[in-house]
Amino acid sequence: MLDSLLVPTAIVALAEIGDKTQLLALILAARFRKPWPIIAGIVAATLANHAAAGAVGAWFGSFFSDSVLHWILAASFTATALWTLVPDKMDDDEASTARKFGPFLTTLIAFFLAEIGDKTQIATVMLAAQYPELWLVIIGTTLGMLIANVPVVLAGNFAAEKLPLTLIRRLAASAFFILAIVAVYKAMQSSGWI
């Protein structure tokens, strides 16, 4: 049961470093200079987005046998590992949202939209399909987002410029590859191959 919390927390925290939402957090921190409404917006947006992603993952997982689901998860984790190695860039339309609203609402809207189709949302879908405790997966992925983004909001440019992003991306990709290997092992096991 603790794996349902700790694995998603670690995976998302690593995957989020250098992600476009972390760049968004940096831009919002520099623009508004009000960290607490930004952090509250990150929490609200992430909970909403990852709850939806988790529900999709749990629903998706209910349609397949254990072995088929593990093969799908292995392929998905491998694809996400490769995707994690590619640095994200901030989109102009996400940055322009900040002009229309205050720090909380801007963060809520921008983070929710930025997470749609993002690798951490895809990871949430996959993790929810893999672990039976959906609410722990959602809490874990949200904690992972906060672990990666709160220091950026609080420290601004200093934190983002000092992090070895290439190394962190490689660690995150390695974590996804490990999950892929575990999924392959479980698929082989449930198929009766080992």
The whole-model pTM stands at: 0.72
Q: Helical H runs in the chain? A: 3-16, 20-32, 35-61, 66-84, 92-96, 103-115, 119-130, 134-155, 157-162, 165-190
pLDDT at position 93, please? 53
86: region left, alpha or beta (phi > 0 left; psi from -120 to 50 alpha) = beta
pLDDT mean values, one per 10 residues, the chain (194 residues): 90 83 80 88 95 91 80 79 68 53 89 84 89 94 94 71 66 78 86 85
| Contact (CB, 8 A) for 67 and 138 | no
DSSP annotation of 99: G
| Contact (CB, 8 A) for 116 and 20 | no
